[in-house]
Amino acid sequence: MDWGMKNRLSQIIKPETGHTVMLAVDHGYFLGPTHKLENARKTIEPLLPWADALMLTRGILRTSVDPDVSIPIVLRVSGGTSIIGENLSQESITTSIEEAIRLNVSAVALSIFVGTEFEHQTLTNLAYLVDEAQSVGIPVLAVTAVGKELEKRDVRFLALSCRIAAELGASFVKTYYCEEFEKIAESCPVPLVIAGGPKLETELDALKMANDAIQKGAIGVDMGRNIWQSPHPVPMIKAVRAVVHDGVKPEDALEIFEKDKK
């Protein structure tokens, strides 16, 4: 791996711990004005000091994040579908590598939809993006998307998707946590970060998921709704950081949350 690639990855995955807390705010690219993300700037700004990286689209980056803020950007560069459309998996590359360079990003992100009608299209999208990004030293984050079929989030499917993403050259992979997650980590030769997914019932549920994922081989989280849909987003991201970077147990991290929200 070239110096530039290593340097950009080290901005996201902190060398001190080998872990990362990415803040996902790219949901609007197919969901539109998601609850608690209607005003993206208002949601993002209080959380910036506690996030290791932001995952978002170029539109939200330009309109909702000040350019003088020093935070690594993971730029979503795939899309072209919406939640009311016929098929979420029919994604294309929507942002050029030249645009990523203009925006000084630390990585680019693209979804793959293994096992769908558009599997071939999204996998060749990934291969093309890897070629383009590697030529200028930008890491690629592959996202193992499942569209509307959330029941696909099992170990066999996710292990298959993660391994294919790594085989095609992704620098790291975002996937879901599931039972036997360690099998996914063991069979994927690049780092894994887990998606937070839909808002869980309690903060403790989200903290336990983050903890279990780290214990079973993930290097971090890319969490969105379980942070900014919490009634207390800043205490929540601080608690997540305690789990991911400091190895704090979920129950103790919940105490951090409860204390900080007062």
Tens-digit pLDDT profile for residues 214-249: 999 999 999 999 999 999 999 999 999 999 999 999
User: pLDDT digit string (tens) for 48-104?
Assistant: 999 999 999 999 999 999 999 999 999 999 999 999 998 999 999 999 999 999 999
**Which pair of structure tokens corresponds to residue 135?**
């030529």
Q: Which residues contact 141 (CB under 8 A, 6 or more apart)?
A: 55, 74, 107, 108, 109, 110, 170, 171, 172, 173, 174, 193
**Which pair of structure tokens corresponds to residue 30?**
């197919």
Model confidence at 10: pLDDT above 70? yes
* Residues in a beta bridge with 75: 56, 108
Model confidence at 5: pLDDT above 90? yes
Which pLDDT does position 146 carry in this prediction? Answer: 80
**Which pair of structure tokens corresponds to residue 259?**
């204390």
Q: At what angle do helices 203-215 and 250-260 cross, to 10 degrees?
A: 140
Of how many residues is the chain composed? 262
Q: Give one DSSP letter per residue of 206-228, joined into a string.
A: HHHHHHHHHHTT--EEEE-HHHH
**Which pair of structure tokens corresponds to residue 116?**
């769908």
Q: Where are the domains of the chain?
A: 3-12+19-194
Alpha-carbon 119 to chain mean position: 20
Model confidence at 37: pLDDT above 90? yes
Alpha-carbon 10 to chain mean position: 16
How many of the other CB atoms lie within 10 Å of CB of 163? 17
Model confidence at 190: pLDDT above 80? yes
Q: Which of 9, 94, 6, 51 is nearest to 244 (CA)?
A: 51
User: pLDDT digit string (tens) for 98-132?
Assistant: 999 999 999 999 999 999 999 999 999 999 999 99
**Which pair of structure tokens corresponds to residue 72?**
């690594």
- Residues annotated as catalytic are 174
Model confidence at 262: pLDDT above 90? no
The mean of the pLDDT values for the chain is 95
Q: What is the CATH number of domain 3-12+19-194?
A: 3.20.20.70
User: pLDDT digit string (tens) for 133-173?
Assistant: 999 999 999 999 986 565 667 999 999 999 999 999 999 99
- Residue 30 in 3-state DSSP? helix
Which pLDDT does position 241 carry in this prediction? Answer: 98
**Which pair of structure tokens corresponds to residue 153?**
């989030």
220 and 244 Cβ atoms separated by less than 8 Å: yes
